[in-house]
């Protein structure tokens, strides 16, 4: 197979990479660009740990060809924070104890971030549905759901909401 050169726009920066046409976006991110925040847990589109954004929409990088992503704005977990400053969602995950082993966390954050951009005040059912494609084996999801719900709307009666408005 012939290698080809493409440009990927990731986290606001262009990256030139030489790839095989059948390379997945996940492999290119992890192996060629050292963006190892996106994880591979199942490799077949089930677990959501490889979730990244393409033009603001969550996609599974393990099922996406790098070539398909050429014209899109790609965002990975590494692009969520503004330098050292975490996003509200990231901070909320920390404050609410939503991170245990952390392997599902990047994918969870990307799915949740996409949801909050579309619907800043989702109810619990909406959150659970939006995260139904992301598998977590550690947390039982309760604290993740809470972290997402409270990220945009800190609750006075929540002892873990640090940044109350």
Partner 1 sequence: MSDHTLIGTRMPRVDSRAKVMGKAKYTADLKLPGMLVGKIKRSPYAHARILNIDTSKAEALPGVKAVVTGKDTEGVKWGVFPYTRDQQFIQVEKARYIGDEVAGVAAMDEETALRALDLIEVEYEELPAIFDPMEAMASDTELIHEDFPNNINIHVNIDTGNVEENFEKAHYIREDTFMASEESYFHAEPYAVVARFDHEDCLEVWCPNAGPHMKSKPLSNSFKIPLHKVKIKKIAIGGAFGGRSEICPADYICALLAKKTGKPVKIVFTREENTIATRQGHAMITTHKTGVDREGRVLARESTCYMDGGAYSSTGPIATSVPFLSMEQAYRMESVRYNGYRIYTNKPIRGMIRVHGRGFACGVDTQLDMIADHLGIDPVEIRLKNSRQPGDYTSTKSYVSSCAMDETIHKAVEKSGFKEKWGKLPPFHGIGIGTNSVQTGFPMGIRGGSQSFIKFNEDGEATVMSGVVDNGQGNENMLVQIAAEELGLLPEDIHLVNADTETTSSDPGSYSQVSTFVGGHAVKIAAENCREKLFKVAAKVLKVDPQELAAKNRLIFVKDDPEKSIPIKKVVRISLLNFTSVNAEGGYWPKVDMKREWVKNPYGQMCEAFSFGTTIVEVKVDPVTGQVEVLEATAAQDVGYALNPLILEGQFEGSVAMGGQGGMLTEYHEWMDGRCINPTMLDYKVPLACDMPRINNIIVESIDPKGPYGAKEAGMSIAMSAAQGYSGAVSNAIGVFLDSFPLTPDKILAAIKEKQTRQLKQENADKTEGN
Pairwise CA distance, residues 18 & 149, whole Å: 41
Q: Is 137 in the site for ligand FES (CB under 6 A)?
A: yes
Q: Is 28 in the site for ligand FES (CB under 6 A)?
A: no
Q: Is 46 in the site for ligand FES (CB under 6 A)?
A: yes
Q: Is 126 in the site for ligand FES (CB under 6 A)?
A: no
Q: Is 49 in the site for ligand FES (CB under 6 A)?
A: yes
Q: Least Å distance between CB 36 and ligand FES?
A: 13
Q: Is 109 in the site for ligand FES (CB under 6 A)?
A: no
- Taking the least distance from each CB to partner 1, the nearer of 40 and 73 is 40
- H or E element, residue 87: none
Which stretch, 7-15, 27-35, 120-128, 137-145, contacts ligand FES (CB under 6 A)?
Answer: 137-145
Structure tokens belonging to residue 32:
């060629």
Q: Least Å distance between CB 71 and partner 1?
A: 24
Q: How far lies 30's CA from each of 67, 72, 89, in Å? A: 15, 18, 23
Structure tokens belonging to residue 45:
């589109």
C-alpha angle with apex 130: 165 to 53, nearest 5 degrees?
85
Which residues are CB-neighbours of 156 under 8 A, at least 6 positions away? 164
List residues binding ligand FES (CB under 6 A). Answer: 40-43, 45-50, 60, 62, 99-105, 136-139
């Amino acid at each position: 197979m012939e290698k080809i050169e493409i440009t990927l726009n990731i986290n606001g920066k262009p990256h030139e990479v030489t790839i095989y046409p059948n390379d997945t976006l996940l492999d290119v991110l992890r192996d060629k660009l050292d963006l190892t925040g996106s994880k591979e847990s199942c490799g077949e589109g089930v677990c959501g740990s490889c979730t990244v954004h393409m033009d603001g929409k969550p996609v599974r990088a393990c099922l996406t060809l790098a070539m398909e992503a050429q014209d899109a704005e790609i965002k990975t977990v590494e692009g969520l924070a503004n330098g050292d400053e975490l996003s509200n969602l990231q901070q909320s995950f920390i404050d609410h104890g939503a991170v245990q082993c952390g392997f599902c966390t990047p994918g969870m954050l990307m799915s949740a971030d996409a949801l909050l951009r579309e619907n800043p005040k989702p109810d619990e059912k909406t959150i659970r549905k939006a995260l139904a494609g992301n598998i977590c084996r550690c947390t039982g999801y309760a604290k993740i759901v809470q972290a997402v719900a409270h990220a945009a709307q800190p609750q006075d009666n929540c002892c873990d909401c640090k940044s109350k408005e």
